[in-house]
Amino acid sequence: MKLEILPFEKKHLDIAANLLLHRIEKIRKKINWFAPDLNSKAEARKAVEMEFTKDLSTGVIASVDDQMVAYMIGYIYPGGVFERSAWVQLAGYGGQEKCFREMYSFLAKDWISDRCFLHEIMVPSLNRELLELWYSLSFGQEQIYGVLDFKELGVPQPLNIEIREAKDEDRLIVRQLAVTNVIHQTRSPVFAPVSSEYLDQVRNSYEEAIDDQEIFLFLGFHESEPAGYQVYYPAQPALHSPPKTICLPAAGVVNKMRGKGIGTQMTSYCLNWLKEKGYNYCLTDWRSTNLLSSKFWPKNGFKPIIYRLSRRIHPDAGTANYDD
Ligand SMILES: CC(C)(COP(=O)(O)OP(=O)(O)OC[C@H]1O[C@@H](n2cnc3c(N)ncnc32)[C@H](O)[C@@H]1OP(=O)(O)O)[C@@H](O)C(=O)NCCC(=O)NCCS
């Protein structure tokens, strides 16, 4: 068997589209709604092309005995809100998994030359073998994307708090509550690096959300005291997002009021309200190192769909140039 790793070119798009479709069909055996907008070769080709034409994107194919059997495309996010990092999205790879390590090796060499030391890949959480493959390349779980099917949503819980949408006069309360989640994530064992500028950005964006008709921002009050918040907006089309999905990007309960059922009541109230509005699913994501959320969301019915795996490489890597 002759295995070659070669640069991805436009001429490879058709075969890559077939490989992606095949992968999606396999995933659909376990998650029947997966990739709702990818049902034809043309749609799959568009999805691969989107990865290939992103800024700072590079790709490879694996060829066995002169036949293309797999592809992998990643891109460098140059830095900004998050740190500089290389990403492989769900549509960015397909084909024979036994070639994935070699393809990653090829891409990683270029990323390290470009001084990109944090590598991220999205992997379906039910594919144990594929996860093991990435773990063997020193990737670890960082973020979990979970979906709740509203068919499995229980009836609304009895409330001992007041829950309502944020109003104009709630601006100060929203600014105060908005950072509860982020501050929690600076602590052990998450250790997210959060600057005071970022905290201000979060406060401002949630305050702006009050006026945004596309965003539902709920507040919870316990004995008239602000206790928690949850924010929702319609999900963008994505492979891991079924039709009619509402996205829950953030939620928090103030530190001293946690563990008293406030988060559970807010989740039950808001999701039942959104179900009434016509949504069928809710998508959220959490750090696997966040001990509170990683217990809370599965307990509230969210089933993991995708893991984002990450690998951090020492910044001195790639500088050695020894002869052997
Ligand atoms: C995650 C979070 C929103 C949950 O809210 P919460 O109000 O603490 O959650 P609840 O009190 O409803 O449930 C948490 C626990 O309290 C228990 N509980 C529920 N009702 C209770 C009650 N009346 N009395 C005592 N405990 C109760 C729950 O069973 C649950 O227990 P478990 O952890 O053993 O499963 C909250 O902990 C939080 O803000 N965490 C920090 C920020 C964060 O992680 N946000 C999510 C980011 S993705």
Sign of CA dihedral 304, 25, 235, 14: positive
Cα–Cα distance, 237 to 73 (Å, whole number): 20
Would you say residue 317 lies in a domain? no
CATH, residue 271 = 3.40.630.30
* CA 295 / ligand 1 centre spacing (Å): 9
Q: How does DSSP assign 77-97, residue by residue?
A: E--SSS-SEEEE-GGGEEE-G
Domain of 97 in residue numbering reads as: 3-137
Domain count, the chain: 2
For residues 17 and 127, membership in a common domain is answered with yes
Cα–Cα distance, 139 to 196 (Å, whole number): 30
Question: Residue 82: what pLDDT?
Answer: 86
For residues 153 and 300, membership in a common domain is answered with yes
Would you say residue 312 lies in a domain? no
| Residue whose CA lies nearest to ligand 1 atom number 16 | 259
For residues 99 and 199, membership in a common domain is answered with no
For residues 160 and 298, membership in a common domain is answered with yes
Would you say residue 323 lies in a domain? no
SS3 category, 183: helix
Sign of CA dihedral 53, 54, 57, 61: negative
pLDDT tens digits, 121-144: 999 999 999 999 999 999 999 999
Whole-model pTM?
0.95
For residues 90 and 57, membership in a common domain is answered with yes
Q: Which of 138, 140, 71 is nearest to 106 (CA)?
A: 71
For residues 187 and 109, membership in a common domain is answered with no
CB 268, CB 275: distance < 8 Å = no
Pocket-forming residues, ligand 1, beta carbon under 6 Å: 180-181, 184, 251-253, 258-264, 286, 290, 292-293, 295-296, 299
Q: Which of 137, 157, 189 is the last residue of a domain?
A: 137
What confidence category does residue 321 fall into, taking pLDDT thresholds of 50, 70 and 90?
confident
Residue with tokens 């140039």: 321
Would you say residue 97 lies in a domain? yes
For residues 164 and 132, membership in a common domain is answered with no
* High-pLDDT (> 90) share of the chain, %: 96
The atom of ligand 1 lying closest to the CA of 284 is 48
pLDDT tens digits, 199-233: 999 999 999 999 999 999 999 999 999 999 999 99
